[in-house]
Amino acid sequence: SVSPEELVEVAIAARAHAYCPYSDFAVGAAVETEAGRVYSGCNVENVSSGLSICGERAAVFAAVSGGERMLRALAVVTADGSMPCGACRQVLAEFAGADLPIYIATPDGAYQTLTLGELLPRPFSSPLVQ
């Protein structure tokens, strides 16, 4: 499988593709899937700002688009080691368990590890989907 350091490196590479002319805040993300594959994403902004997509969700949607619905790890890289937003946490909960390791990293490769359960302790779960 993929080491945390390797997943962080993939996220750093994806961050170079961030399209963020409005915020100038570049985000790169990479997920490892159950099958051991790696998908990446970056934030993509829009002049109509509500249409922008976060790097984390871009990576998750790339994995799902590749036919993968179970995530094993996530790396996120920002200039200051920012945490994933609430919307991305709920999207992660759709395709990962509370034990999902999340590597919060900076461009030098340094990271701290948290779990999805720590970032989103009680996700919404629809009674319509059990």
Catalytic position from the list 56, 68, 94, 118: 56
Asked if residue 40 binds ligand THU (CB under 6 A), the reply is: no
**Contact residue for ligand THU among 43, 73, 92, 100 (CB under 6 A):** 43
Q: Sign of torsion, CA 61 63 69 74?
A: negative
Asked if residue 116 binds ligand THU (CB under 6 A), the reply is: no
Q: Active-site residue 56, yes or no?
A: yes
Q: How far apart are CA 12 and CA 78, in angstroms?
A: 8
Asked if residue 114 binds ligand THU (CB under 6 A), the reply is: no
The runs of H, that is alpha helices, within 1-130 are 4-15, 55-65, 86-95, 116-119
Q: C-beta of 6: minimal distance to ligand THU in Å?
A: 21
